[in-house]
């Protein structure tokens, strides 16, 4: 399913112009990310989806964290007294990708009870490649690393909803994810050249194996209560999340002369052990209160996060930090209210205000430090919609967002990639804030044009520090940037009986100032982005179709990094049979794809990265939907709305 405004990759999904997303299924957050989210979304066939709602500026009901948009996937409701499901499988093969997915989803609705059970697994491997070039005064370092990653994961999800009475339901859901792939491998080598003669001086070689395993359990209890036919409603959710991750990496490195002779005393070896535990308890209470001329939505939410991260290095260099136990606690208390009103058929308004109080505590045993933060912030939102005539609409939105650092960003314990490269967090890292304003025009719900402005303060990112004396490169988290950005976006959907085309493009200008001594004080410039998605229908029933999509991003600044142009092209075919119950698909991902290239300056020295995370691959897929009625005489349809959460 191709959705306007979404940017979909092999193992990623996002909203165009947003830094990330949160995914909801029937208005409830999945609380998944990364590969776990992709595996979960693969379990849903396109025939199960009623519509996909893309919310680029979330209202006050949603958390203020992040500049992420929201994707709400609404599933088709099943009739009462129904049993059925969908079985699906796919396999991807390519230059650097070979993995398969298989999953089953089951649904049962009987009387007052509706339930579901989903499961799936992903098996295989994929590769990525990273290159970088560091230009020191005395020499130049050209590095390359090839990563082989393996996948061996499965998930189970189940839930049940019960209608206690006509307008009151209670339910529970559980999701369990487990991943235990075979150890991945990374091979890297660095060629060190004399800067004045361009003669090869030495070679740095390293080999590492990383063994990881993870388990995640998410439990949810929810209840919905409707009081009258005007829409007065209460929802209450309680969630518990447990996330465990173990990582064991062995690293071997040595320095060689150009003839391959090892230089004595230059080896750098270590064994790295990490054990992380995360517990999250949260609860949200929401009310919808409709009145004669307006509607109020209000609620409260609390969340408590407790992270324990134990790290140990057994290294050949006794001068390096050996181990640490880092604890990070976060408490967030939130209240919100939204006021919406239609003044006429032409003009409507929604105003919102969210208050969030945050407390964080970070404790590092190795450095014997304890850092606490305690702050309260208001986050307003404004939406205005005006339709001067039929088919024409003007809209305006304003919002304030917060980006909080994650626990790894505030952990001061260093992570070593090799003897000359390491990264670490900063315990006093502060949150950053973003203000967004957008003015848009829509013609016949099809042609869209919008202008936006965004300002971000105290932006945190990794500062790259190249030390000319030691040749050490460090990546350190700091609050050091302010960003101003404005732009113009346009999108249009063209439809005929045999073709549907969605085109989106935009031009933007970004100016970033930096207070970090090692970076350039200012970076600014224009950028252009475009994407095109075509769907071709080969028969009247639209059961045989093909897709062709592409995207392009021009040279542009992202913070202090100058990004080179990128592009990609993908294609696919889909054939539906047996009254749309059976679907067969063939896709070519990244038919043409560019590298991810960037450069930046540190202490007046240049560093260039040239990475390739996507390669050309072919994917075949099959899915089959089955099921039917299990009607009993005298039963009533009391749970149709509940089934929309399945």
Q: Could you state, in chain order, the average pLDDT of each consecutive group of 10 residues for the chain (646 residues)?
A: 52 56 76 65 67 82 80 75 91 92 93 92 94 94 95 94 90 95 94 94 93 95 90 94 94 91 86 92 96 95 94 74 84 97 94 97 85 94 95 95 88 82 89 95 93 95 90 92 96 94 96 93 95 96 96 93 94 95 94 88 93 92 84 34 28
Note the pLDDT of residue 412: 83
Rounded Cα distance between 619 and 571, Å, is 10
Q: For 578, phi and psi rounded to 5 degrees? A: 55, 55
Note the pLDDT of residue 572: 97
- pTM for this model (two decimals): 0.87
Q: For 17, phi and psi rounded to 5 degrees? A: 90, 5
The upper half-sphere exposure of residue 153, i.e. CA atoms within 13 Å in the direction of its Cβ, equals 24
SS3 at position 216: strand
Contact 470, 419 (CB under 8 A): no
Note the pLDDT of residue 318: 67
């Amino acid at each position: 399913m191709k959705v306007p405004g979404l940017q979909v990759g092999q193992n990623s999904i996002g909203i165009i112009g947003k830094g990330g997303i949160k995914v909801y299924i029937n208005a409830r957050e999945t609380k998944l990310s990364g590969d776990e989210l992709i595996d979960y979304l693969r379990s849903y066939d396109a025939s199960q989806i009623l519509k996909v709602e893309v919310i680029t500026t979330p209202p006050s009901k949603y958390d203020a964290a992040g500049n992420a948009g929201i994707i709400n996937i609404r599933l088709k409701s099943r009739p009462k007294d129904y049993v059925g499901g969908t079985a699906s499988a796919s396999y991807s093969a390519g230059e650097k990708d070979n993995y398969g997915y298989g999953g089953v989803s089951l649904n049962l609705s009987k009387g007052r009870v509706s339930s579901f059970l989903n499961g799936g697994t992903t098996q295989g491997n994929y590769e990525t490649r990273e290159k970088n070039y560091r230009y020191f005064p005395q020499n130049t370092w050209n590095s390359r690393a090839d990563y082989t990653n393996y996948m061996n994961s499965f998930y189970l999800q189940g839930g049940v909803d019960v209608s206690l009475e006509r307008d009151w339901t209670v339910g529970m859901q559980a999701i369990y994810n487990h991943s235990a792939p075979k150890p991945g491998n990374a091979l890297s080598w660095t060629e060190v050249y004399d800067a004045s003669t361009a003669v090869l001086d030495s070679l740095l070689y390293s080999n590492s194996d990383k063994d990881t395993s993870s388990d995640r359990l998410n439990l949810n209890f929810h209840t919905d209560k409707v009081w009258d036919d005007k829409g007065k409603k209460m929802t209450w959710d309680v969630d518990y999340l447990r996330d465990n991750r173990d990582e064991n990496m062995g690293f071997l490195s040595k320095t060689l002369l150009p003839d391959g002779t090892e230089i004595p005393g230059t080896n750098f070896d270590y064994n790295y052990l990490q054990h992380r535990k995360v517990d999250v308890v949260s609860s949200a209470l929401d009310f919808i209160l409709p009145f004669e001329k307006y509607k109020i939505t209000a609620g409260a939410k609390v969340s408590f996060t407790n992270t324990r991260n134990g790290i140990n290095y057994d290294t050949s260099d006794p001068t390096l930090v050996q181990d640490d136990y880092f604890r990070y606690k976060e408490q967030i208390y939130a209240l919100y209210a939204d006021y919406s009103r239609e003044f006429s058929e032409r003009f409507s308004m929604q105003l919102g205000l969210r208050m969030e109080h945050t407390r964080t505590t970070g404790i590092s045993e190795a450095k014997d430090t304890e850092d606490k933060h305690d702050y309260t912030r208001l986050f307003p939102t404004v939406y205005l919609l005006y339709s001067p005539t039929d088919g024409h609409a003007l809209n305006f939105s304003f919002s304030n967002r917060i980006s909080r650092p994650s626990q790894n960003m505030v952990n001061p314990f260093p992570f070593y990639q090799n003897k000359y490269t390491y990264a670490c967090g900063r315990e006093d890292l502060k949150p950053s804030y973003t203000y967004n304003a957008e003015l848009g025009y829509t013609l016949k719900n099809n042609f869209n044009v919008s202008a936006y402005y965004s300002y971000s303060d105290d932006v945190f990112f990794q500062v790259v520090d190249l030390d000319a004396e030691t040749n050490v490169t460090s990546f350190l988290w700091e609050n050091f940037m302010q960003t101003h950005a404005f732009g113009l976006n346009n999108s249009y959907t063209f439809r005929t009986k045999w073709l549907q085309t969605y085109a989106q493009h935009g031009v933007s200008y970004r100016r970033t100032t930096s207070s970090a001594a090692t970076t350039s004080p200012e970076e600014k410039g224009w950028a252009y982005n475009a994407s095109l998605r075509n769907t071709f229908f080969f028969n009247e029933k639209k059961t045989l179709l093909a897709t062709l999509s592409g995207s392009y991003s021009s040279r542009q600044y992202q913070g202090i990094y100058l990004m080179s142009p990128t592009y990609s092209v993908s294609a696919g075919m889909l054939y539906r049979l047996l009254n749309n119950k059976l679907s067969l698909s063939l896709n070519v991902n990244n038919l043409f794809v560019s590298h991810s290239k960037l450069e930046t300056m540190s202490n007046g020295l240049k560093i260039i990265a040239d990475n390739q995370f996507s390669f050309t691959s072919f994917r075949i897929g099959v899915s089959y939907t089955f099921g039917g009625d299990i009607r009993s005489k005298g039963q009533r349809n009391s749970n149709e709305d509940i089934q929309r959460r399945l």
